[in-house]
Amino acid sequence: MSDAAIGFLLDNLKQLVQYNFNLIKNVRNEVDGLIRDLPFLKALIEESTETGSEDRVVKSLVTRIRDLTFEAEDAIDCYTVVEATGQKGKKWFAKVFGGLDHVSKLRKVAKKVQGIREEVDKLNQNPMFVYRALQARDPAGRTERRLPDVEKDNVVGFDEATTTLIERLTADTKELQVISIIGMPGLGKTTLANKVFNDPRVSHEFSTLAWIYVSQTYTKRDLLLSILKGGNQVTTAMSDMDEGSLVKEVRGYLSWKYLIVVDDVWEKKDWDNINGAFPNHKNGSRILLTSRNEPVAEHAHPLSEPHKLDFLTDPQSLELLQIKIKEDGSNSSSYSTPGVSVINRRLCIHNGVSKYISSKPCGLRVRSFLCFAKNQVNLRREHVGYIPEEFKLLRVYHIQPISSPRFPSEIEKLVHLTYVAFSGDFTTIPAAISNLWNLQTLIVETSSRTTRTIDIKADILKMSQFRHLHTNKASQLHSSVAKKIKDCDNASLNKSLQTLTTITPESCTEDFLGQTTCIKKLGIRGKLDILEGKGWSRFDNLTKLLQLVTLKLLNDAFPDPPSESKLQGLPQWNKFPPNLERLTLADTFLDWDHMYVLGMLPKLEELKLKDNAFTGISWTLVDGGFKKLKALQIWKTDLVSWEAKAEHFPSLQHIVLKDCRRLWEIPPSLANVKTLRTIKLHETSRSAATSARKIKEQQQESNAYNGLKVDIFPPDL
Last residue of a domain, one of 281, 308, 335: 308
382 pLDDT band (50/70/90 cuts)?
very high
Tens digits of residue pLDDT in 595-641: 999 999 999 999 999 999 999 999 999 877 799 999 999 999 999 99
**Residue 294 and residue 252 share a domain:** yes
Question: Are residues 187 and 102 part of one domain?
Answer: no
Residue 668: count other Cβ atoms within 10 Å of its Cβ.
13
Based on the domain organization, do 299 and 166 belong to the same domain?
yes
118 and 219 both lie in a single domain: no
Of 673, 660, 591, nearest to 627 (Cα)? 673
Average pLDDT score over residue span 571-592: 93
Give residue 114's domain range: 1-136
Buried-state track 221-232, b at ≥16 Cβ within 10 A, e below 16: ebbbbbbbbbee
In a domain, 298, yes or no: yes
Same domain, 132 and 162: no
Same domain flag for 128 and 170: no
DSSP code string of 421-460: EEEES--EE-GGGGG-TT--EEEEEE--SS-SEEEE-S-G
Which residue, of 279, 308, 337, is where some domain finishes? 308
- Which residue in 680, 673, 697, 694 sits closest to 635, CA to CA? 680
Q: Is residue 687 part of a domain?
A: yes
Q: Are residue 163 and residue 127 in the same domain, yes or no?
A: no
Do 164 and 304 reside in the same domain of the chain? yes
Q: Specify whether 69 is located in the same domain as 200.
A: no
Nearest to 224 by CA among 237, 207, 243: 243
Number of domains observed in the structure of the chain? 3
Q: Are residues 209 and 119 in the same domain?
A: no
Instruction: Assess if residue 42 is contained within a domain.
Output: yes
Cis peptide before 185 (omega within 30 of 0): no
- Closest residue by Cα to residue 706 from 632, 653, 635: 653
CATH number of the CATH domain containing 162: 3.40.50.300
DSSP sequence for 203-219: HHH-SEEEEEE--SS--
pTM of the model: 0.74
Mean pLDDT value across residues 42-63: 65
Residue 578 covered by a domain: no
197 and 181 Cβ atoms separated by less than 8 Å: no
Q: Which helix H or strand E contains 402, and what residues bound it?
A: strand 396-404
- Residue 523 belongs to what H/E stretch? strand 521-526
Domain boundary among 105, 136, 167: 136
- Is 664 among the domain residues? yes
Task: Round the average pLDDT of the chain to a whole number and report it.
Answer: 82
Q: How far apart are CA 475 and CA 500, in angstroms?
A: 9
Same domain, 50 and 110: yes
Q: Kindly report, residue by residue over 342-369, the tens digit of the pLDDT.
A: 777 889 888 889 999 999 888 778 889 9
Q: Is residue 194 part of a domain?
A: yes
Residue 258 in domain: yes
pLDDT digits (tens, 9 = 90+) for 431-457: 999 889 889 999 999 988 888 899 999
How does DSSP classify residue 144? P
The 10s digit of each residue's pLDDT in 324-338 is 555 544 444 555 666
Please state, in angstroms and rounded to a whole number, the distance separating the CA atoms of residues 195 and 197: 5
* Within-domain flag for 389: no
